[in-house]
Structure 1
């Protein structure tokens, strides 16, 4: 176990009695909490802080303990607690409980015994014959208590209490008190709890002439507590100090690494709210500097709100007056020296401010704490008295009692918020769980990022960036070379600013929510943020980003850098024409050439089958120097034969994609197949624009392109290139698809079908075939639809990879995959419209014509998706085309999941979700049900088996395994 686990913790604070009632008695219990662990796991928290659940008269919400060793019966039994603790640990969650060291309840047997004259327990508490001792010590609960002394008529003396009069302070000058509290700690630690929150720790000792806070004796007692804990259990159990003090008074609690492990950053918390309303980062920067210098092994605990008032004890009078004025103008919302409101009402219901404060909570230096219900924006009821208004039942649903309990309303320990905008009828988990735009899903997404970068955000250094615009707070978090940049706009208006990032020149900021790369850093970096906006960036090397966005079919640069040691050799006695022209053929050289070509074609993903034998049907020279030939090949394989149209070049250098053989003799050089060389496509387009005519021994080649000719073309996938509004599609596989495309597209009045304007044709007598087609696009940067889908899948899964698949998964997934779902629905509609249009053009038959190319038939330009090609001639069910699209969607998901940890469990769920969207969109567009839908799993299995033979890539194997599972045919 990592002894510094608390640095990576995301802590969730809850009342057991407020969370969920499993036995319907009106009080939350441990069985109810155990049942809700899947919700907490899905939320993304990994540590639970439980407020007091011990035996108590509940005059102070459980902080008035009457028996440290017993659980309040309404919460269950010790066995219930053990069962909850075991399951939390099994889910990877740790549990911190309260250790109330300062005081007990007046009902505690210790106090009842101490009241008796001459009792040996008398010295367990602090007594006085007069209330004049420790004069000048402040009264903390000044709205409720007139003094820190209360007279007890049984004891005939005054007893000391820093809080309520029913909570007498323990006498820590008595060694037996310290020993007794150590035993309490050992009891719960033996049971397996992972840490203790030290309640009201600054007030353990009293000394005349002091303020009785943070005394040296208290600091030493804390160190003894830690020493006792570690001597018994070793490192790993944590002490968290509730020390609401000024920075210089809090720091001593850490000691030199021998005090508490964690302490609440009370100095920073109110300054977050101050900076937000002043729209100036000054208060935050000042407190970050003041709270520096804690030991390396120590950690701050960060929070926005909790079970108490928003305390304004440790702010200046001017700061307190300002915060009261802007956050609690109504005096009824004030209590003691604070504000008794929950977070969302405190912010006036402003979602942007809510999100901004959570961005700071999750990225500033420390471990964040969420108070139960804040993740859904729960409201409060300040009229319940004291601080009970922020301790109302968790709002699970719009059902009775907010889904918290089935008990009669009058038996609830507190009424749920049932009126106004925060009523449980509107604000509840059930309503937000499946809503991708809800506060709950925002918090879940952010915690996914927090957990992915737990080491950087939990343990890394923090460096403030000196931005001239003071409404902007910017800082860098760094840990072991990994850097995250956080930028936040504290203003209610949009802001533009320059970030001083000169030292990061060449790095690429990748926005963490979308996973979108921004332009590389080249000096000062200009950004703009909307009102209360924020952005998180990972700063990554440019090479890493380029590698991440390599297309599926492209080999990584490192694989292309060298020549394979076993590169075949083609022995050529004459010129290169001896390989291609039958009347000049060098039979031995051609056999070696075709053998080497067959070997490389067996590795090409665009070729559906693995050729056992390659024959040359025809060839035409396109370019003399360096030699480049257009070839028609006949490929023989297990599934029969097919024809391929492939450009082959001989070059003297070995640079470029497609190298497959070296030539010995005849001037030497290297042979390349150019299906992946964008230079070939640019050359072919230029020749077509000039009006191309050629003659081989067997056929005429004619071609034209009447449109614009860009200087260069980008290869979208093998066989398809585009640039500056022009596309060129080469029929690498001669299956008749381009012939059918050319014949039918002019008859399809669908604006997203791009009709060809030119092409290259092979003609022999009455036989004619289309070797290539050209056309136009709207201006924009096109990409092949599978690459577009893969990018959306990567972005979506990256948003999900750190979330467990559990309760509320659908809502979170729907938001993460929103762009991909929109694309899928669009394709479903367009496939339905295409089928209908093709029926009108080609007539009815045994079903409808096949699309056959899946996503490879589509291209995306600036958010619009265009159809460029049909599949080969043939008729079949619409289900086959849907299966082809579904297969590509699944493969994109599995490919994306290969690149990131934690995304795998989401793939099956995402595939089901997207396929349902595809079917639904298709059926809505056709206004009818799909026939033979029950045959879809078997169709998918057959398709997956066929595709797995094409290419031994993990993604294809995973799709096959998925459909073997779905059809019950085994195979994992």
Structure 2
């Protein structure tokens, strides 16, 4: 279960009394969405962390100790290691000092006096958010330099070619002493940058992950690493570790491929493409595990390989076009019950991702609006995972209909 603390319990202090409820639902793994201090208005939903040792006042204080509050078999995960954070923990106000001209702090980020090197990067680096944040560099007037901002203009990419950055970020392992069982490593595919490449999935990124794993085994051996690498099926397998380092990077990884394939299956009513992907997904190393999920706070990328679609007798481009139209409310698939939306649409390439809640994409939102009881039942039956928790949404829908 992934949840926002304030939406679910109000604050951290109120969380313990709610854990029994989650346990009764069968939840044994709890991922808390970002609870750390982040800049107002420029937080990327909390993922642009200002200070890893400070909990945002909305959620209470860091006095909450997960090790003493956990109930039954629930494990707690926290998104601590944000690789594109606004400010490092031990150099709070790092960008502020960098803007003031302090070279020591400027070296914690990718900063340049002119466009020569940024242009070299941009020649091969794709835009992550072409609509809302085109380009990979932002001009900072105060500093008089270009700074790498792959995700958002306010998120300065940490420069891990500077070993001090890695040393400072290791301090986040102290959360293991507070009972955090799993440390979620956000966007590890982007941790290392190099001109002439897409600056994603580079070998140096895996070297850093192996170093992080070694440090965890020494300092907090009871804590596992969860990789949030939303990449192609062949690439995501590498984040468990390969060769002589197999199973020595991330202990868990999100099975984003299977998640997207579930929605493919739901739209088409066929399992062919999903089955074509299983031979790659099943190559996961012994001693590691997938986190298989249905929806999260992020969008749905249709990143599985073209050959998986072609082997099912479909044109990859047209098939993805169909899926985008099926799940977007403004789409042309009139027969679709979904009320999702396209995200990060790129008019140059036709690429886009899908956003929307589980209930909306399954058709429950549309069924409630239309007050159609049969459609409500059908939408609940479509839930790709254990329908127990989804039935709660159905009960809400029935209350709406009765009113």
What TM-score results when the alignment is normalised by the length of structure 1?
A: 0.35
| CA drift at 1:216 | 0.1
Tell me which structure has the larger Cα radius of gyration: 1
How far apart, CA to CA, are the structure 2 residues paired with 1:122 and 1:251?
Answer: 34
1:260 is matched with which residue? 250
How do 1:596-745 and structure 2 match up within 5 A? none
User: How far does the alpha carbon of each residue in 1:708-753 deviate from its partner, in whole angstroms, 9 at most, with x for none?
Assistant: xxxxxxxxxxxxxxxxxxxxxxxxxxxxxxxxxxxxxxxxxxxxxx
1:358 is matched with which residue? 384
Does 2:85 match 1:104?
Answer: yes
Does 2:101 match 1:113?
Answer: no
How far apart, CA to CA, are the structure 2 residues paired with 1:95 and 1:270?
Answer: 25
For the structure 1 residues 290 and 357, does the alpha-carbon distance in structure 2 shift closer, same or farther, using more than 3 Å as the test?
farther
How far apart, CA to CA, are the structure 2 residues paired with 1:49 and 1:173?
Answer: 30
Query: Helix, strand or coil for the counterpart of 2:45?
Result: coil
What TM-score results when the alignment is normalised by the length of structure 2?
A: 0.81
How far apart, CA to CA, are the structure 2 residues paired with 1:150 and 1:140?
Answer: 14
How far apart, CA to CA, are the structure 1 residues paired with 2:13 and 2:107?
Answer: 39
Q: 1:207 aligns with which of 182, 190, 194?
A: 194
How do 1:7-22 and structure 2 match up within 5 A? 12-21=1-10
Query: Helix, strand or coil for the counterpart of 1:377?
Result: helix
Does 2:251 match 1:251?
Answer: no
For the structure 1 residues 175 and 77, does the alpha-carbon distance in structure 2 shift closer, same or farther, using more than 3 Å as the test?
same
| CA drift at 1:297 | 0.3
How do 1:889-900 and structure 2 match up within 5 A? none
- Consecutive unaligned residues of structure 1, counting only runs of 5 or more, are 1-11, 22-28, 363-369, 379-396, 399-420, 428-972
- Runs in 1 of length 4+ with deviation above 6 angstroms? none
How far apart, CA to CA, are the structure 2 residues paired with 1:38 and 1:187?
Answer: 26
2:28 is matched with which residue? 46
- 1:106–1:112 contact (8 Å) kept in structure 2: no
- 1:126–1:169 contact (8 Å) kept in structure 2: yes
Does 2:110 match 1:126?
Answer: yes
| CA drift at 1:166 | 1.0
1:333 is matched with which residue? 341
1:289 is matched with which residue? 279
* Higher relative contact order (CA closer than 8 Å, sequence separation 6+): 2
How far apart, CA to CA, are the structure 2 residues paired with 1:153 and 1:167?
Answer: 16
1:701 is matched with which residue? none
- 1:244–1:314 contact (8 Å) kept in structure 2: no
User: How far does the alpha carbon of each residue in 1:879-914 deviate from its partner, in whole angstroms, 9 at most, with x for none?
Assistant: xxxxxxxxxxxxxxxxxxxxxxxxxxxxxxxxxxxx
1:318 is matched with which residue? 318
| CA drift at 1:78 | 1.3
| CA drift at 1:218 | 0.2
How far apart, CA to CA, are the structure 2 residues paired with 1:118 and 1:74?
Answer: 32
Q: 2:58 aligns with which of 74, 81, 92?
A: 74
1:941 is matched with which residue? none
Query: Helix, strand or coil for the counterpart of 2:151?
Result: coil
For the structure 1 residues 315 and 14, does the alpha-carbon distance in structure 2 shift closer, same or farther, using more than 3 Å as the test?
farther
How do 1:839-854 and structure 2 match up within 5 A? none
For the structure 1 residues 375 and 61, does the alpha-carbon distance in structure 2 shift closer, same or farther, using more than 3 Å as the test?
farther
Query: Helix, strand or coil for the counterpart of 2:239?
Result: helix
Q: 1:179 aligns with which of 137, 154, 167?
A: 167
1:306 is matched with which residue? 296
How far apart, CA to CA, are the structure 2 residues paired with 1:76 and 1:101?
Answer: 21
How far apart, CA to CA, are the structure 2 residues paired with 1:334 and 1:315?
Answer: 20
Query: Helix, strand or coil for the counterpart of 1:99?
Result: strand
How far apart, CA to CA, are the structure 2 residues paired with 1:315 and 1:72?
Answer: 40
How far apart, CA to CA, are the structure 2 residues paired with 1:324 and 1:232?
Answer: 45
Query: Helix, strand or coil for the counterpart of 2:318?
Result: helix
- 1:54–1:68 contact (8 Å) kept in structure 2: yes
1:167 is matched with which residue? 155
| CA drift at 1:375 | 6.1
- 1:100–1:198 contact (8 Å) kept in structure 2: yes
Does 2:393 match 1:377?
Answer: yes
| CA drift at 1:273 | 1.4
How do 1:485-564 and structure 2 match up within 5 A? none
How far apart, CA to CA, are the structure 2 residues paired with 1:228 and 1:30?
Answer: 28
- 2:380–2:391 contact (8 Å) kept in structure 1: no
How far apart, CA to CA, are the structure 2 residues paired with 1:328 and 1:315?
Answer: 22
How far apart, CA to CA, are the structure 1 residues paired with 2:284 and 2:102?
Answer: 46
Q: 1:150 aligns with which of 134, 138, 142?
A: 138
For the structure 1 residues 112 and 313, does the alpha-carbon distance in structure 2 shift closer, same or farther, using more than 3 Å as the test?
farther
2:204 is matched with which residue? 217
1:452 is matched with which residue? none
| CA drift at 1:313 | 4.4
For the structure 1 residues 339 and 346, does the alpha-carbon distance in structure 2 shift closer, same or farther, using more than 3 Å as the test?
same
How far apart, CA to CA, are the structure 2 residues paired with 1:32 and 1:375?
Answer: 25
How far apart, CA to CA, are the structure 2 residues paired with 1:219 and 1:157?
Answer: 30
How far apart, CA to CA, are the structure 2 residues paired with 1:122 and 1:330?
Answer: 44
How far apart, CA to CA, are the structure 1 residues paired with 2:146 and 2:269?
Answer: 49
How far apart, CA to CA, are the structure 1 residues paired with 2:156 and 2:280?
Answer: 34
- 1:149–1:159 contact (8 Å) kept in structure 2: yes
- Give the superposed CA RMSD: 2.6
Does 2:74 match 1:93?
Answer: yes
Query: Helix, strand or coil for the counterpart of 2:236?
Result: helix
- 1:324–1:339 contact (8 Å) kept in structure 2: yes
- 1:63–1:100 contact (8 Å) kept in structure 2: no
Query: Helix, strand or coil for the counterpart of 1:48?
Result: strand
How far apart, CA to CA, are the structure 2 residues paired with 1:232 and 1:121?
Answer: 27
How far apart, CA to CA, are the structure 2 residues paired with 1:335 and 1:270?
Answer: 15
| CA drift at 1:169 | 0.7
For the structure 1 residues 280 and 239, does the alpha-carbon distance in structure 2 shift closer, same or farther, using more than 3 Å as the test?
same
1:276 is matched with which residue? 266
1:786 is matched with which residue? none
- 2:23–2:72 contact (8 Å) kept in structure 1: yes
User: How far does the alpha carbon of each residue in 1:198-249 deviate from its partner, in whole angstroms, 9 at most, with x for none?
Assistant: 1111001111110000000001111111111012233x42111111111111
Does 2:218 match 1:231?
Answer: yes
How far apart, CA to CA, are the structure 1 residues paired with 2:155 and 2:303?
Answer: 21
Q: Relative to total residues, which structure has the larger strand share, 1 or 2?
A: 1
| CA drift at 1:286 | 1.2
Query: Helix, strand or coil for the counterpart of 1:100?
Result: strand
For the structure 1 residues 318 and 224, does the alpha-carbon distance in structure 2 shift closer, same or farther, using more than 3 Å as the test?
farther
- 1:151–1:159 contact (8 Å) kept in structure 2: yes
User: How far does the alpha carbon of each residue in 1:580-615 deviate from its partner, in whole angstroms, 9 at most, with x for none?
Assistant: xxxxxxxxxxxxxxxxxxxxxxxxxxxxxxxxxxxx
How far apart, CA to CA, are the structure 2 residues paired with 1:158 and 1:248?
Answer: 34
1:565 is matched with which residue? none
User: How far does the alpha carbon of each residue in 1:664-700 deviate from its partner, in whole angstroms, 9 at most, with x for none?
Assistant: xxxxxxxxxxxxxxxxxxxxxxxxxxxxxxxxxxxxx
| CA drift at 1:280 | 1.6
Shifted more, 159-168 versus 203-212: the winner is 159-168
- 2:81–2:183 contact (8 Å) kept in structure 1: no
- 1:313–1:338 contact (8 Å) kept in structure 2: no
- 1:106–1:166 contact (8 Å) kept in structure 2: no
| CA drift at 1:354 | 4.1
